[in-house]
Amino acid sequence: MYALSDASPAFVAAVKLRGVVSHTTAAAVHGFALWRTAPGLHVTVSSGRNRAPGVTVHRSRLAPADLDEDRPLTSPLRTVLDCGRTLQLGQSVVILESACLARLVDLRSVRAAASEARGAGAVALRQAVAWVDERSESSLESGLRMLVTLLGRVTTQAWVPGVGHVDIVLDGWLALEGDGFEFHSDRRAYREDRRRGNALVVGRHVLLRFTWEDVFLRPHYVLQVVTETLAAGPPWR
């Protein structure tokens, strides 16, 4: 039995419904990056008409391998598969790449499970898995790539002489960098960012930089800036 006295609301709801925490609620518990946190909780039950206010109840028979060992919670692999079936493409890919980056799921296992998936959401799951880029180094980079992927020819982790790897390069000249505060918060990182920016300009690149808030809270702003920059073209034409 699970003690409810100090458990989170998600686990309390799961135990009361005789189910397990699942989908994006489980993703948050596992520490996976989410594009946005929707209100309400997600719980999966094996059967019955269980309901509770503020809880989305999913019905599915779960094998022992689908469950966390110690908590009423879907395993990391089952969690990303559920999210891939039910979320929009960009949201699914961010969660999948976050889970792979944290080494909580193996991409080969995800691909194998997706290829065998049947039923509702199976096509969406396979599409999301096909979009996963193993070179992604952060959820911020994943989100930025998914936003701009249809705007031009995308190169991820592009190598630029004198600069190093750049998160994304569009059409060979527009460099996009996601600025996560944790990697740009000291004096050394600040100086290196300035050097890289200057080297990109010398190498005939235009640089645009976006924060976590830009990508996940103001995606229309990101799309507008990138679209207008691409339309203007490289300044040295």
Lowest mean pLDDT among 46-50, 64-68, 127-131: 46-50
Q: Which pLDDT score is estimated for 1?
A: 46
Query: Residues 151-190: pLDDT tens digits?
Result: 999 999 999 998 999 999 999 999 999 987 655 567 788 8
Angle at which helices 89-101 and 107-116 cross, to 10°:
140
- Residues 6 or more apart whose Cβ sits within 8 Å of residue 206: 173, 174, 175, 200, 229, 234, 235
Are the beta carbons of 143 and 149 closer than 8 angstroms? no
Tell me the average pLDDT across 48-57: 87
Angle at which helices 122-131 and 89-101 cross, to 10°:
60
Query: Residues 97-153: pLDDT tens digits?
Result: 999 999 999 999 999 999 999 999 999 999 999 999 988 999 999 999 999 999 999
Q: Which pLDDT score is estimated for 187?
A: 79
Lowest mean pLDDT among 45-54, 75-84, 114-123, 185-194: 185-194
